[in-house]
Structure 1
């Protein structure tokens, strides 16, 4: 018996699909009532890194918000977060300051922070899994 292969249900925020196509990945994939969001970075409109760290983090969260919105979600629907940091000890306070303006009150989503040595010119990246309201 051959099992049918399911198609990926890709989600893209308005105005950014060309950058995702250039790098050959989807902003997010909807699977059942879950949304798996690719890592979002603090890029300028042309895709280049925002040089100032706090602004880069804020842009990454804004990019994430746009992907969530394109799928009918908000930060309240996020259940799991993974962040990547090029210098976690030096960046932690800044990331938490920006995070606190976006994530909201407890209960908080799961969160895993990972120190890395390379993020393609960026210093921060965030990816999430969210539950899609209404299960679709």
Structure 2
């Protein structure tokens, strides 16, 4: 079984491009790539601000699913011109990722991101419901 998760804002971007912000399936949340977009879908101009906005947008979707970045187990980032932009982008990660253990990471350099310079997509483990926690803690014999 699977269902979609949507943030409270930014629906125009998803409707215009015909994709789901996130899909819950088999105990995981699969989040579409998040960019530094404003509510109307337009990009934030400054690269560092774009990265912060992408993380804010990601946090909004994670929260809509009852998760936080602490639940993220895998991240893939895409950046335009990584040789030039990596040092500008990387400090934001240490601000936003929190304490270890950190998720796995794959970084991909790309030549085009639909008008953006940075994108992050993640997979998060969904928190267990209280009944499921009880069943794991005290399995029946």
TM-score after normalising by structure 1:
0.90
> Residue 133 of structure 1 aligns to a residue in which SS?
coil
> For structure 1, which runs of at least 5 residues remain unmatched after alignment?
1-5
Deviation at 1:94, TM superposition (A): 2.1
Answer yes or no: is the 8 Å Cα contact 2:77–2:121 preserved in 1.
yes
1:53 is aligned to 2:47: yes
2:118 aligned to which of 101, 121, 124: 124
> Residue 19 of structure 2 aligns to a residue in which SS?
coil
> For structure 2, which runs of at least 5 residues remain unmatched after alignment?
133-141
1:108 is aligned to 2:102: yes
1:35 is aligned to 2:10: no
Deviation at 1:17, TM superposition (A): 2.2
- Count of matched residue positions in the alignment of Structure 1 and Structure 2: 130
Q: Which has the larger radius of gyration?
A: 2
Question: Which runs of 4 or more aligned residues in structure 1 lie more than 3 Å from their structure 2 counterparts after TM superposition?
Answer: none
1:95 aligned to which of 77, 89, 93: 89
TM-score after normalising by structure 2:
0.87
Supply the RMSD in Å over aligned alpha carbons. Answer: 1.4
